[in-house]
Structure formats: C-alpha cells, structure tokens
Amino acid sequence: MNKPLAVNRIHRIDALAGLRRLEDNSVDLVVTDPPYNIAATDRITMKSSKPLSTMEAWGHWDRFHPFDYDVLIMQVISECHRVLKPGGALYMFTAREQSGYFVRKAIARGFTYRNQLAMVKKNPLPSLSKTNWRSAFELCMYLTKGKPGVFNFISQTECKNVFHYSNSRRATKHPTEKPLEFIKLLVQVSSNVGDLVLDPFMGSGTTAVAARDLGRGYVGFELGRDYIKMANARLKTGCHTGAGRRAA
C-alpha cells in the first residue's frame, strides 16, 4: 500500500498516478491548469519578443493524440470528483474550443456547474498573420461537488467572473504561468484557512504559492524537473505555513 503523500510539497509524479494515491473526500479545493493540447508547428506565439511555433515555445508536453487527450482530461475530472470533499470546488482552465465539452463531461461525472470565469489580458500578443481576432482571454470552469460548501464572497467588485491582468509580469519562465492574484482570489473565495488545496498539474507553482500565502495546505504533482525547481524557488520566498500534515 502506498504511503500517504506529504502535504506542502510538489511531488514529481504523473497527475493521474498522484490523484490515485489520494483517498476519497480528502481535498477541499482543486485549482489546476492542465495542458490544452494546442501546441503545433503551425501555430505561432511570442517568446522573448521572437515569434516561435507553440510547439517550440511550449514543448511536447502540450501535444497529445486527440483521443488520448480527451481520455486524460476526463480521467482527471473523475479523480478530482472522487478526492474532493462534498461541497468542494474544482477550478480548471481549458482551451476555449474545448471548454463546453469538458463542462458537459464534468456534469455527467456528477459535478454541479457553477460558472465560467474569464481571465482577460490587458496586453495580448499581437496578431502576426492578421487573419484572425487577437487572443485576449482564457476560460476557467468552476464546478462543485454538490452545493458549494465554501464561498467567501469578498465584494461585488472582486467576485465578478471577469479578471483583467497584464501578462508581462511573470515570476518564472514557464510558458503558461497564470497570474498569482487571480489564483489567490480563487483560493480565498473557495477555501478556508487550514484547508487542503490540490493542483495535479502544478507547473510553475502558482497554486502552491497562493495556498501557502493564504494559510492553506497544498499538494501538487508535476513531471518537469525544471518546473519543479522554478516552483520550489518561488516557495522559498515570502510567508510560510507549517508542514507536517499528510494527504490521505
């Protein structure tokens, strides 16, 4: 039998393998940004002010066979439902073209759909081809396991489902780092001090930093050694919560 996973640590383990080591109803909140499966040689982005294909900029971790990708995300959704406590929330980022599909799959698994949140970029990347609209927002689905157990409504101003931010301020070189203030908002609203926050795709560690700064415990999974180093470097700065708990 596997030992319980240490809390307040990012484990170098596959997302599904890590999720399967967690007990039923053991996590208060999940905030995660899985791969979008949009890396390609013919899609262009900017990196260090240079145009690159998304495959070059992001790497092969964001490229799957479409069937394999759908199976992966649906398995992750299913495992998140299992490990969440009743009333717990799942916030999951998805590519816009896939968002509605995975919302329907999550509802079929047993989640309650609550809302879609949009992160709007104040300074989106330019359109190099000038044959389409500039991509200026990302979507995050908000679901709960039954009726929400926690929703700390901060204010009418802050609790809107649109968040504006500048993507020029980054803490790491991770290509898809999410804004810390937005992730902090999700953690603050949908969990309480001392709760356990899970991120199966930890990446640059933003979810861990947000949880740590707000007095929550965290547990995360990530395969990329360089990304774990980035995340741990961030976690060495600022305030800290005590370690010692273990995820069931």
Domains observed in the chain: 5-239 (3.40.50.150)
Length, in residues, of the chain = 248
Eight-class DSSP state of 177: P
Q: Counting runs of H as helices and runs of E as strands, what totals does the chain give?
A: 7, 12
Rg from Cα positions in the chain: 17
pLDDT score, position 248: 55
Summarize the confidence of residues 168-195 as an average pLDDT. 88
Residue 215 has pLDDT above 70, yes or no: yes
| Residue with tokens 């708990």, as numbered in its chain | 245
pLDDT score, position 56: 64
108 vs 168: CA distance, rounded Å: 38
15 vs 96: CA distance, rounded Å: 22
134 vs 246: CA distance, rounded Å: 44
222 vs 226: CA distance, rounded Å: 10
Q: Report the 10 Å Cβ neighbour count for 226.
A: 11
Band of the pLDDT at 42, cuts 50, 70, 90?
low
More confident residue, 82 or 39: 82
Residue 64 has pLDDT above 80, yes or no: no
29-38, 48-57, 110-119, 137-146: lowest mean pLDDT where? 48-57
Band of the pLDDT at 130, cuts 50, 70, 90?
confident
Strand partners, 52: 45
pLDDT score, position 153: 98
Residue 97 has pLDDT above 70, yes or no: yes
Summarize the confidence of residues 176-182 as an average pLDDT. 89
Dig out the tokens for 87 from the structure: 């009333």
| β-sheet with 112-121: strand ranges across | 9-11, 217-221, 196-199, 27-32, 84-94, 137-144, 112-121, 162-165
Strand partners, 83: none
Strand partners, 144: 89, 112
